[in-house]
């Protein structure tokens, strides 16, 4: 019993570290909680708690997924650049899933912004750079917000683990 709790705590710590690097830490935390709950017959983690953790994990990923696009919009990127960032994000995500090269998500996001700005006729380096900075800051803000939510999930999980 104690070894299972230690393993859960280690996976929770791993989930926090993953969130800080932009990976799906909230999802890891949710899956860890669900597996532990299953083997403990949902004694510590009730279905309600698991639904809350699942909703928070989903929220984490949605926030992180669209944060770069929101950043581009806030830094006055053109409409085409914003659309390009969404398309680039989806393409980068698609290729990252199949190749396990997760930097492609960020690369797709930036490539989409650059192509969108060029298509819109805004070819000045300064304008494109401002849009890229917006994407970067938006993505960074998304990772910080995602990590904060994962930390709340961590606290909830630890509380339920030792209840």
Give the model confidence (pLDDT) of 133-160 as tens digits.
888 898 889 989 999 999 999 999 999 9
Q: What is the mean pLDDT of residues 120-131?
A: 87
Residue 20 has pLDDT above 90, yes or no: no
Q: What is the pLDDT of residue 8?
A: 94
What confidence tens digit (pLDDT) does each residue in 74-97 have? 888 888 888 888 888 888 878 877
Model pLDDT, residue 150: 96
Average pLDDT for 43-64: 93
The rounded distance, in Å, linking the Cα atoms of 6 and 99 is: 32
Q: Is 42 left (phi over 0), alpha (psi -120 to 50) or beta?
A: left
Burial of 123 (C-beta count, 10 Å sphere; 0-12/13-18/19+): exposed
71 — pLDDT class (breaks 50, 70, 90): confident
Provide the residue ranges of all domains of the chain, joining segments of one domain with +.
Answer: 2-161
Query: Has residue 35 got a pLDDT over 80?
Result: yes
Global pTM reads 0.80
CA distance 90 to 63: 14
């Amino acid at each position: 019993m104690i070894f299972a709790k230690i393993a859960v705590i280690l996976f929770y710590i791993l989930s926090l570290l993953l969130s800080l690097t932009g990976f799906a830490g909230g999802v890891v935390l949710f899956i860890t909680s669900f597996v532990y709950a299953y083997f403990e017959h949902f004694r510590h983690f009730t279905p309600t708690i698991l639904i809350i953790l699942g909703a928070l994990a989903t929220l984490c990923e949605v926030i992180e997924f669209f944060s770069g696009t929101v950043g581009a919009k806030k830094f006055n990127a053109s409409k085409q650049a914003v659309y390009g960032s969404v398309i680039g994000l989806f393409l980068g995500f698609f290729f990252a899933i199949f190749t396990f090269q997760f930097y492609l998500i960020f690369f797709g996001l930036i490539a989409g912004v650059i192509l969108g700005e060029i298509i819109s006729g805004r070819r000045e380096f300064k304008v494109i750079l401002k849009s890229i900075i917006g994407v970067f800051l938006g993505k960074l803000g998304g990772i910080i917000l995602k990590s904060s939510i994962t930390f709340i999930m961590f606290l909830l999980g630890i509380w339920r683990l030792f209840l």
